[in-house]
Structure 1
Amino acid sequence: MSDTQFLIGTFCRRPALGNLGRQIRVRSNFFEILALPSQNIIHYDVTITPDVPPALNRKIFEEFEKISREGPLDGIKPVFDGRKNIFAPRSFPFGDTATFNVTLPEDETIPSKRTPRTFKIKIKKAGEIYMDELHQFLQGRNPMTSNCLTATMALDVLIRHLPSMRHVTVGRSFFTNAGAEPLFGGAEVWQGYYQSARPAQEKMLINVDLSATAFYESGPLIQIITKILGRRNPDDLRRGFSDKDRIKVEKTLKNLKIRVTHRGEATYKRNFKIIKLTPTPASQTKFDAGNGVTTDVADYFARQYGRRLSYSHLPCVTVQKNIYLPLEVCEVVEGQRHIRKLNEKQTADMIKFTCQSPHLRANKIKQGFDILNYRKNEYLKQFGLEVASDMIVIQARVLPVPTLQYHPSSREHSFQPREGSWNLRDKKVAQGAVLGSWAIVAFGSERDLPTQSIQAFIRELVITCQDNGMSIPNRTPPIVHTNSQGDIEGTLKTAWLHAGNAAKAQPQLIVCILPNTGVPLYAEIKRVTDTVIGVASQCVQSRHMMQAKKQYCANLCLKINVKLGGMNSFISPSQIPFISDKPTILMGADISHPSPGEPSRPSIAALCASMDAKASRYSASIRVQTGRTEIIADLANMTKELLKTFYQTCGRKPERILFYRDGVSEGQFDQVLNGEIKAVRAACMSLEESYKPSITFVVVQKRHHTRFFPLDKRDSDRTGNCLPGTVIESGITHPYEFDFYLQSHAGLQGTSRPTHYHVLFDENTFTSDGLQALSYNLCYVYARCTRAVSLVPPVYYAHIVCRRARFHARDQHWSDTESSSEGDQGTASIFGVVKPELQRVMYFM
């Protein structure tokens, strides 16, 4: 390869492939495109007026195709993305621009009277896509140009065109109700199939995966309402609705599309949208029936349609001003997405549906491939696109397992875990903290949480912590009972004073026993202990406290030890030479955004950095910034903070920085790389003009649809997933940039999701083996469990810190099922700052 080829593209090029570990073969959910369109693809811009949603746009386009196939389109089968783009295998005969009128036939899918039936389609040539440029990119001879991006988009639209016309589509997935399963409360889960065209080395692939989403059940509205209220059958509604019932039903049904059944199917199939429920039952909901005559809905239906209502004691739905429909004449239209947040029961049912073993998932993907039916797709044929019918089989390697170190006095102080997990039996933590000054707060009465039970739990916890190498001179901390609805801040301050007075020393820990898993209480405890008092806190659920199992106490010990500044375990320095040879800092960054329903809440950025030569201890920095921005705004100052802390802890300046960045999609690589590397550089130079450590910047992605299925049983764990340490760097990766997939954890249930690492910038000249082995080995030193985790700890910690920081806001209305946002909550000022004494330890664990 000539030197000039290395200058292509802004990101780091892949070094030679690695060879560390045992070679194996795996199947992955990609199907190879055997033949790409040989001719250039013509791109047209389309404008449909008036403006309507994509699903209706598709119907308009389908109608346009029907009437134009022989005339204006001359037999060409173009594909449409539902919004603005049409792609065709050759130019349309009408030249560069044309306008057509399309009238939709009478159809029940028109949502309201106000939607017109006649539309104007304006088609204008936007350009030509040169397929040769895409071939050059796939072979690593050309960078990814905007032409290559448009070509990939055109392939995406091409493979999705037919399924989108026939099925409900959401994003890049389409859904079918075959095999739908009910979720609690009138919703059901549908199986979906995701598909996307992806470039790889010397070829294009189609990534096909399963997805699932919740829909409203279709059918009689009265049945759905019965389920929303958790009743057995409609007869249970005979007593009518309470106000609380009505509000709950109204909230769930608002904007749902229904059709009526009382006018005979042949003549009337119009859709309506539910606006609200009437506060009065049908027998008392009055309206003007014309000629100044006022009547109620039940009476009107008896006279007009000769129909006595069975549920006249229930409210009506309002679909337009002064149009009321009794519940029993309404049917929910099929295929409507359930966009409200699922409750706990629904979420549990959803997880059950989506959690499938690798073998089952692979079979279902194959079924999805058959539904997609690329073989007989006329559109694909016309473009000359051919797709292989079997999943791709690729080379992989299983990396060697690192050696973990615990305290030298442990019976088993140095060992290699098997299949990614181990336990604390016969092991003492590498560095045990001393816990002398602490208190217990029980959020519940003496009757609910008896002092005797709490004392028994403390005994078990103390014994377990001491067996595992911590030192606890004070075995009887003071216990405070309090009401979980009361003054939580005051109670925690009192507990802090009790702890200090009892031990005559600065309090180190408050253990809180919680009555439930609710968010509000937990959030308030963390806000107060992290930002008001400045003391580590450990929450325990009362049901676990009552049982006080050894395994549970061992898990608590891991968390408490690092919160107090201890170290649980580490990897032999010889196995992480990059970190142990020279002073090196690992950084992990993440941004968490508010959910779509909370426009006024800010985003939170977190940066975590290692503070020792073993990369076991971490410190964190947090910033609150404008909602939904992807770049970390104050990264320079955050980096500066952590570099100073590193220097104060180790007495040396880091000579190397390895920066792992989470939460970035491909489209944002450029932006993040340019903005954030500059910020890290600026932070170094602001400390000292000549200080220029070498930087490696790696993006870490978990949100993707790549899955691996072992070919040989020997290469799988007991759940049927790939073994921890499985690394894939060819076959499905970028044509020439430095990226790889690493499955570092052992599967617990379902199909494991590997982590995708993409190196954007590298001044440390990593080899493939070097970065893959280091990233894998680090996954064994995540402090709060005895398992290898699925992504590198600095990023994992940043993720936890982001989540924790949400709780540092005053006056938030935390709720498990719905998010509420107050108008003034977009400001950073309501977020408390973590106390300096906690910033040096891993308080967030």
Structure 2
Amino acid sequence: MANLTEFVQRPDLGRLGKGIRVRSNFFEVTSLPQENIIHYDVTITPDVPPVLNRKIYEEFEKENLASTLHNIRAVFDGKSIFSFILYNNNCVDNTRYCKEFMNVTLPEDDGVISAKRAPRAFKIKMKKAGEIVMEELHRFLEGRGQLTPNCLTGIMALDVLIRHLPSMRHVTVGRSFFTRQGAVALAGGAEVWQGYYQSARPAKGKIMINVDLSATAFYEAGPLVMMVTKLLGRRTPDDLRRGITDKDRIKIEKALKNLKVKVIHRGEATSRRRFKISKITPTPANQTKFDAGDGHTTDVADYFARTYNQRLTYPHLPCIVVRKDIFLPLEVCEVIEGQRHIRKLNEKQTADMIRFTCQAPHLRANKIKQGVDILNYRGNEYLQQFGLVVSNDMAVVPARVLPTPTLQYHPSSREASFVPREGSWNLRDKKVAQGATLGSWSIVAFGSDTDFPHQSIQAFVRELIITCQDNGMNIPNKTPPIMHSNPQGDVESSLKQAWLRAGNASKAQPQMLLCVLPNTGVPLYAEIKRVTDTVIGIASQCIQGRHMMQAKKQYCANVCLKLNVKLGGMNVYISPTQIPFISDRPTILMGADISHPAPGDPARPSISAVCASLDAKASRYSAAIRVQTGRTEIIADLAAMVKDLLKNFYQTCGRKPERILFYRDGVSEGQFAQVMNGEIKAVRLACASLNESYQPYITFVVVQKRHHTRFFPMDRRDSDRTGNCLPGTVIESTITHPFEFDFYLQSHAGLQGTSRPTHYHVLYDENQFSTDGLQALSYNLCYVYARCTRAVSLVPPVYYAHIVCRRARFHSRAEQWSDTESAEECGQAASFAIVKPELSRAVAVIQGDNPSSDVSGIVRFTQEKENAPTIIEIDIKGLKRGDHGFHVQ
């Protein structure tokens, strides 16, 4: 039993908390295939996309079901075939390819093989890749055997089996298939389709099928001229009768490129012929000329009038080009259904998409059940052939609701100690646990006096000061200097001037710049953070102008939380008796994440960040940042990062941590072994580099949010006001790993839609955590996130690391930000302008920031470049100017 896994086995089932039952979107496989399954690698020549491979195989199955396939329906995923039989009747032997007689001719889209067009002929070759021993998979599920490659292939085969029929009948994207039923139109000629995700998952003693909702955007089918009308924001096609501008033409060409259409001017027989748009003509149909074949040239409008007796309704619109010198008027084309919208959605489309996908738990559960009905597992002939039987009922899972921790504010508070209800609270009758002093600061309003009147700014400042002081902060300087600045001007000069004004007004080192922003766009925000973080060396707080004009007390309270932690204060903490693992002995919490560039941009680097606690209350954190090769999941310079953080802990506490609890985000199951072997070794190296005999106990936990597991309360008393499970709901059996130490924890209160729990999986544990111990600690930590008065969905070290990764993207001057992008989007898409990424290093103290976005501040930053060292260190206790910027006093 000890050799079952290289990771940690579940020590026991937890007992802490109130026992309840919930439903989960898992459906039990009540009968698995008993016979071994043969796995074949498939080669189809010429090489075509997997979608077309499926059509080729479907045609092959029709022709060969009774002969080569012996009336046994195999399943295919575009690359592999899984079957019960050996296709050795027509093969040389089991290790070589079958003979090339296995030819398939695919009909054209119109269903016929035309003499004018060469037939689409393909050759299928199959090679036996292996045999899946089902008994081995059973042993693993029952906890009597390891997860071998044979077991992994078996689970993959079951995945292919349940997806095979839906992939032939519906539009498929990844593990999801989509139906147009219930589609909702988005702006700009797009629409959102409902999809259903399904995946085979191992659990104790059984396989479960995880079924969930998904959604994605497709192009609206129908007349192409209507698509163009919507793309240009017009009401009807009649609005296009006068033609379009060059700017509009460029816009629609970019949107329509590679879109597939069919023609409708030659009758039903040819309407199924598909064409792909390559570009748009620069001239309208009545001016687009071509060689008519008789030595004369004609324009497209005249050609259609003479050849098809069809007078164009919109001759002033351009044509689409589908091949060289083949032009089609917009009005004779229709967009083919089921084409995925792969271009970025605009702001309105995104908002409509969110409304479509945001569904209350009971509605989501009902739609998942509808999806199972559409899947029709019981009527699936392929599942019947393999002997796979799937229950139609959602799994009922035992769960527990963990006790809520007691939160501590300043002893002078009217409510100094209290237990939150349903994961949220407010600052009424409370003072922050440790209030900071804000004495030297100034305000920059990025807009004119007309946009942000001086009186309105003063009114907001008065309300903010009153709120901050009521909540325990000390603000002796109640009249900070106020200046206006052009948001399109020299932002860096404006911020430097504001810094000088703050220092001169208070005769003290500036502590904070409060910036009023005119919009929610990224360019200005990114430049403010770049300058304040890496040039001036001062904390900044950005607020939206619309919030400033209203000056609501709740908003000011939110800003107060962020200001206090940026200035070195502490908002709230948990009694040490409720987090004994941290308070009993010197213990450091670490959270790590990697931010990758946008898909399709391999040249940009990834940014990794590790955040670590600095005190026994786990309230203050420092961070280390690195730039590394794009899209690599392993943190490249982890040893040096951990070493920096261990030094910070020692300098703050005066002791070395005896225990390390490391939470790692952004890792898929297939990377567990690679991450554990590489990154735990890196942590060990960091410790040894400080002292060869220094060997703290390490626990390494992977934190996952990108999964499709959802929970639905069965009893109304076990749900919150949104219908979600209560904060603290933990699930550790029935749908979890057969024997490894993992659990799902829903630590936050739902705001809207169906909450997504966080999955924790323990890979390495020298601290010998009990199940209750790790679950309770992880849950309690979610209440001391500095930037809000709510329990958050995952442990703060990881949350902070995620924020730091996004924030570090703003420290590049080379990136051209888009006004239409949000801070979160640009956090994923921006890049660092560094010749040698491994030479860029940063150490930061992480605290709160922008109340209107999910971006945090970096208070201490160090960057080193080859042959040009630049050191900027910002400390909350005060600054002193040095030769290379700012350094700690």
With normalisation by structure 2, the TM-score equals: 0.92
Query: 1:297 matched to which residue of 2?
Result: 300
2:85 to 79, 83, 90: 90
Retained in 1: the 8 A contact 2:800–2:846? no
Q: Distance in 2 between matches of 1:478 and 1:301?
A: 71
CA distance in 2, matches of 1:275, 1:110: 25
Does 1:427 pair with 2:426? no
> Counterpart in 2 of 1:583?
586
2:70 corresponds to 1:74: yes
CA shift in 2, pair 1:828/1:768, >3 Å: same
- Write the mapping of 1:471-620 to structure 2, written as runs, cut at 5 A: 471-620=474-623
Partners of 1:549 and 1:840 in 2: CA distance: 26
What are the Cα deviations for residues 755-778 of structure 1, in whole angstroms up to 9, with x where unaligned?
000000000000000000000000
Shift of 1:109: 8.5
Counterpart mapping for 1:105-504 below 5 A: 105-108=107-110, 117-504=120-507
Equivalent of 2:676, from 654, 657, 673?
A: 673
CA contact (8 A) 1:619 1:842 kept: no
How far residue 667 of structure 1 moved from its aligned partner, in angstroms, is 0.4
Aligned AA (2:120): R
Judged with a 3 Å threshold, the aligned counterparts in structure 2 of structure 1 residues 33 and 125 are, in CA distance, closer, same or farther, namely: same
Deviation at 1:250, TM superposition (A): 1.2
Shift of 1:831: 10
Could you tell me how far apart the structure 2 residues matched to 1:67 and 1:239 are?
Answer: 54
Deviation at 1:839, TM superposition (A): 3.6
Q: CA deviation at 1:244?
A: 1.6
Q: 1:767: which partner in 2? A: 770
> Counterparts of 1:744-759 in structure 2 under 5 Å?
744-759=747-762
8 A Cα contact 1:79 1:157, kept in partner: yes
Task: Confirm or deny: 8 A CA contact 2:597 2:831 kept in the other structure.
Answer: no
The Cα of 1:231 is off from its aligned counterpart by 1.1
Query: What amino acid does structure 1 have at the position aligned with 2:436?
Result: A
Q: Distance in 1 between matches of 2:640 and 2:67?
A: 64
What is aligned with 2:662?
Answer: 659
- Report the Cα distance in structure 1 between the residues aligned to 2:223 and 2:377, rounded to whole angstroms: 37
Distance 1:310 1:500 in 2: 69
3-state DSSP of counterpart to 1:605: strand
Structure 2 CA distance, aligned partners of 1:390 and 1:171?
25
AA in 2 matched with 1:768: T
Matched residues in 2 for 1:109 and 1:325: separation? Answer: 22
Q: Distance in 2 between matches of 1:671 and 1:418?
A: 41
Q: Which amino acid is the alignment partner of residue 798 of structure 1?
A: A
Query: Could you tell me which residue of structure 2 aligns to residue 101 of structure 1?
Result: 103
2:8/2:762 contact within 8 Å kept: yes
How far off its partner does 1:840 sit? 7.2
Q: Does 2:65 align with 1:65?
A: no
Q: Which amino acid aligns with 2:82?
A: F
Distance 1:739 1:89 in 2: 34
* Match of residue 35 from structure 1: 31
CA contact 2:263–2:270 (8 Å) conserved in 1:
no
Q: CA deviation at 1:296?
A: 1.2
What is the aligned partner in structure 2 of residue 25 from structure 1?
21
Looking at structure 2, the residues matched to 666 and 830 of structure 1 have their Cα atoms a distance apart, in angstroms, of: 27
| Alpha-carbon separation, structure 1, partners of 2:229 and 2:798 | 45
> Structure 2: which amino acid aligns with 1:577?
P
Q: Secondary structure at the match of 1:588?
A: strand
**Higher mean C-alpha displacement, 236-245 vs 196-205:** 236-245
Aligned mates of 1:564, 1:110 — CA distance in 2 = 74
Amino acid at match of 1:252: A
For the 8 Å contact 2:513–2:540, the answer to whether it is kept is yes
Question: Hey, what's the Cα distance between the residues in 2 that align with 1:381 and 1:182?
Answer: 38
Shift of 1:697: 0.2
TM-score by length of 1: 0.97
> Match for residue 15 of structure 1?
11
User: Deviation per CA, 1:224-269, whole angstroms, max 9, x where unpaired?
Assistant: 1111111111111123211221111111111100111111111353
By how many angstroms is 1:826 displaced? Answer: 7.0
Cross-structure match for 2:787: 784
Q: How does 1:707-746 map to 2 (within 5 A)?
A: 707-746=710-749
Distance change (3 Å), C-alpha of 1:9 and 1:355: same
C-alpha distance in structure 1 between counterparts of 2:432 and 2:242, whole Å:
62
Say whether residues 1:50 and 2:53 are aligned partners.
Answer: no
Change (3 A) 1:309 1:760: same
Give the conservation status (yes or no) of the 8 Å contact 2:177–2:196: yes
CA shift for structure 1 position 306 = 1.2
SS in 2 for 1:26: strand
Cα distance, 1:825 vs. partner? 4.9
Q: Is the 8 A contact 1:813 1:821 kept in 2?
A: no
Q: One-letter code of the match for 1:92?
A: Y
Distance 2:521 2:231 in 1: 22
Give the counterpart letter for 1:88 in structure 2.
S
How far apart, in 2, do the equivalents of 1:579 and 1:659 lie? 13
Q: Is the 8 A contact 2:813 2:833 kept in 1?
A: no
Letter in 2 for 1:424: L
- Contact map agreement 2:598 2:829 (CA 8 A) in 1: no
> Which residue identity does 1:128 align to in structure 2?
E
Distance 1:413 1:824 in 2: 45
Secondary structure in structure 2 of the residue aligned to 1:67: helix
Deviations 1:470-491 (A, max 9, x none): 1001111111111111111111
How many residues align structurally?
838
Matched position secondary structure for 2:564: helix
Change in Cα spacing, 1:110 to 1:314, as seen in structure 2 (3 Å) is: farther
Q: State the match for 2:870 in structure 1.
A: none
- 1:735 and 1:714, CA in 2 relative to 1: closer, same or farther beyond 3 A? same
Could you say which residue in structure 2 is the equivalent of 1:6? Answer: 2
- Contact map agreement 1:809 1:832 (CA 8 A) in 2: no
1:682 aligns with 2:656: no
Aligned CA distance change for structure 1 residues 305 and 417 (closer, same or farther; 3 Å): same
Paired residue secondary structure (1:718): coil
Q: 2: CA distance between counterparts of 1:801 and 1:619?
A: 10
Distance 1:276 1:599 in 2: 26
CA 316–592 in structure 1, closer or farther in 2 if over 3 Å, else same: same
Deviations along 1:694-727, whole A, 9 cap, x unmatched? 0000000000000000111110001110000000
**Shift in CA distance, 513/830, structure 1 to aligned 2, threshold 3 Å:** farther
Amino acid in the other structure paired with 1:372 = L
> Aligned AA for 1:16?
D
Indicate if the aligned counterparts of 1:782 and 1:793 stay in contact, CA closer than 8 A.
yes
1:709–1:721 contact (8 Å) kept in structure 2: yes
2:880: which partner in 1?
A: none
For residues 407 and 187 of structure 2, the distance between their equivalents in structure 1, rounded to whole angstroms, comes to 45
Unaligned regions of 5+ residues in structure 1, if any? none
The secondary structure found in structure 2 opposite 1:453 is: helix
> Which residue identity is paired with 1:161?
H
SS of alignment partner, residue 14 of structure 1: coil
